[in-house]
Amino acid sequence: MRMWGGRFSGETDPLVAEATRSVEVDRLLALDDLDGSIAHVRGLERAALLTADESVTIVEGLRALRLEVEQGTLEWDPALEDVHMNLEAALTARIGSVAGKLHTGRSRNDQVALDLRLWLRRTVHDIDGDLLALERSLVDRAEREGDAIMPGMTHVQPAQPVLLAHHLLAYVEMLERDRGRFTDCARRADRSPLGAGALAGAGFPLDREATAADLGFAGVTANSLDAVSDRDFAVEFLAAAALAMVHLSRLAEELVWWSNPAFGWVVLSDAHATGSSMMPNKKNPDPCELIRGRAAKVAGDLAAMLGILKGLPLAYQRDLQEDKPPLFDAAAVLSSSLRVMAAVISGLTFRTDRMRDAALQGYVTATSVADALVERGLPFRVAHHVAGRLVADAERRGCRLDELADESFERALVVEEGPEAARLAAAAPTGLAEDLRAAATLEAAVARPRVTGGTAPERVREALEAARRRLGIEPA
């Protein structure tokens, strides 16, 4: 079938028609397309390009189509190529030839550019709600687990003890930045391209600003060439989605490890785990694994969009038809992953006893001991060596740092050179060993980092309160 008459005399090759068809994908823009068309009709009426009666007829027809789309009763014709032509043909079938006036002063180029911006605006709103829900789930668990202690890690090795709440709130901070990135993206996309025409601008006195205001935009695009060929807002959306999925993937990775009985730090609810077709003992964290895998998919969507755009001259090129699959895919994957992760977090059982047992291994309080030595007057590098010797002594004895005898602390100081170490060694009977053993406890080590953003209980309580206020969560 040939959509555009006059210039062409033959039918489109069926292979070409199949290759260029996009309605199965871009029909997701139907509601946005109809909203844009209704605003365009108002603009045409303001410009005296439609009579009041014609405007009413077309708008009523568009609203009827909107209802059909919402109810899922509109029949889509693949032969009509895309969402725009399907809706125009459906409108014509319902109201007659006056529907042909709808496309006055408009091209599919500025039409689809508008649709994508409208889609992005409502999609960002929905994703923001999903991000908020996951943040609230994390904050809820952080509050419920209270002062549970776990080993913080670097290089996947025990490093320093932290509160479980502190660990969970780290992901809240990541998600909050994700929200900010989507908000920034939507803000920069908040310009209406309608009226840019195919590339040079509409040839009629359309009030673009009034139409943009009707659609809730902050303003209009400043250059018609840029308006129809610009997709950097799509790249920004995909970059924000890819980063959000990376954050989800990191959380998913930790839950996969923590749920392994070798860790035993969390137990997934039966509703959020799967079994094995062969091994009756298995309880697999499949939702987390799939989120981890799908993060790569969204990263691929970003790469695909950048690849589509990198070689395009101004203005519109048909390559841009391929912008929608990665956009729609990334949005669907991210939204689903956020909702699944929120459910997983809410259903977790935290084995805080196992976390504490793990924190008692690996000498994670050694830094606290070194800091206590600094408070006694040692340079940090000397204190670091002393604490290291204490760790080596405890390893040989098979005990914790807070279980070492007085002579271990005295000996570690004696072997260090320098007047400060000698002075401390001489003063050891004055309570140094007791002070260092106290510094080597989990509670003391967790309480020491009292700087803003640290894991000390009072700082974590402040962070929780700040998160509650930011997320609109009522105090527990």
465 and 385 part of one domain: yes
Compute the average pLDDT of residues 275-281.
93
In a domain, 446, yes or no: yes
* HSE toward the beta carbon, residue 25, CA cutoff 13 A: 15
In a domain, 216, yes or no: no
- Residue 236's closest CA among 183, 192, 194? 183
Residue 22, domain CATH: 1.10.275.10
What's the confidence (pLDDT) of residue 224?
A: 98
310 burial (CB, 10 Å; 0-12 / 13-18 / 19+) is exposed
Q: Is the pLDDT of residue 105 over 90?
A: yes
Compute the average pLDDT of residues 212-227.
98
Residue 150, domain CATH: 1.20.200.10
What's the confidence (pLDDT) of residue 37?
A: 98
What's the confidence (pLDDT) of residue 474?
A: 78
Q: Are 142 and 225 in contact (CB under 8 A)?
A: no
What's the confidence (pLDDT) of residue 185?
A: 97
- Element holding 69 (H helix, E strand): helix 52-71
180 and 248 part of one domain: yes
- Residue 284's closest CA among 352, 344, 351? 344
In a domain, 212, yes or no: no
275 and 402 part of one domain: no
In a domain, 252, yes or no: yes
Q: Is the pLDDT of residue 475 over 70?
A: no
In a domain, 214, yes or no: no
What's the confidence (pLDDT) of residue 420?
A: 63
252 and 370 part of one domain: no
What's the confidence (pLDDT) of residue 2?
A: 46
Residue 411, domain CATH: 1.10.40.30
447 and 434 part of one domain: yes
pLDDT digits (tens, 9 = 90+) for 225-269: 999 999 999 999 999 999 999 999 999 999 999 999 999 999 999
Mean pLDDT of the chain: 94
119 and 34 part of one domain: no
81 and 131 part of one domain: no
Kindly name the residue from 9, 97, 155, 277 that is annotated as catalytic: 155
Taking CA atoms, 420 is separated from 109, 375, 386, 463, in Å, by 76, 12, 12, 38
Q: Are 62 and 38 in contact (CB under 8 A)?
A: yes
pLDDT digits (tens, 9 = 90+) for 404-452: 999 999 899 876 556 666 666 555 556 899 999 999 999 999 999 999 9
3-state secondary structure (DSSP) of residue 60: helix
396 and 322 part of one domain: no
Compute the average pLDDT of residues 362-390.
96
140 burial (CB, 10 Å; 0-12 / 13-18 / 19+) is middle
What's the confidence (pLDDT) of residue 421?
A: 62
Dump the DSSP string for 344-396: HHHH-EE-HHHHHHHHTTTTTTHHHHHHHHHHTT--HHHHHHHHHHHHHHHHH
Q: Is the pLDDT of residue 319 over 50?
A: yes
Catalytic residue at 276? yes
pLDDT band at 17 (very low <50, low <70, confident <90, very high): confident
80 and 34 part of one domain: yes
Last residue of a domain, one of 311, 328, 357: 357
Q: Of all residues in the chain, what percent carry a pLDDT higher than 70?
A: 95
Last residue of a domain, one of 104, 138, 156: 104
Report the alpha-carbon distance of residue 47 to residue 10 in Å, rounded. Answer: 36
Report the alpha-carbon distance of residue 116 to residue 233 in Å, rounded. Answer: 9
In a domain, 6, yes or no: no
Kindly name the residue from 276, 335, 337, 346 that is annotated as catalytic: 276
What's the confidence (pLDDT) of residue 4?
A: 53
Q: 374 lies in which domain range? A: 361-471
In a domain, 185, yes or no: yes
Which single residue is written with the structure tokens 């479980």?
Answer: 164
In a domain, 166, yes or no: yes
Last residue of a domain, one of 43, 77, 104: 104
DSSP letter at 154 equals E
Catalytic residue at 408? no
122 and 90 part of one domain: no
Compute the average pLDDT of residues 389-418.
90
Task: Enter the tokens of residue 411.
Answer: 């000996």
DSSP bridge pairs for 163: 149
366 and 271 part of one domain: no
What's the confidence (pLDDT) of residue 295?
A: 98
Split into its structural domains, the chain has a count of 3
What's the confidence (pLDDT) of residue 1?
A: 44
324 and 391 part of one domain: no
- Element holding 464 (H helix, E strand): helix 457-471
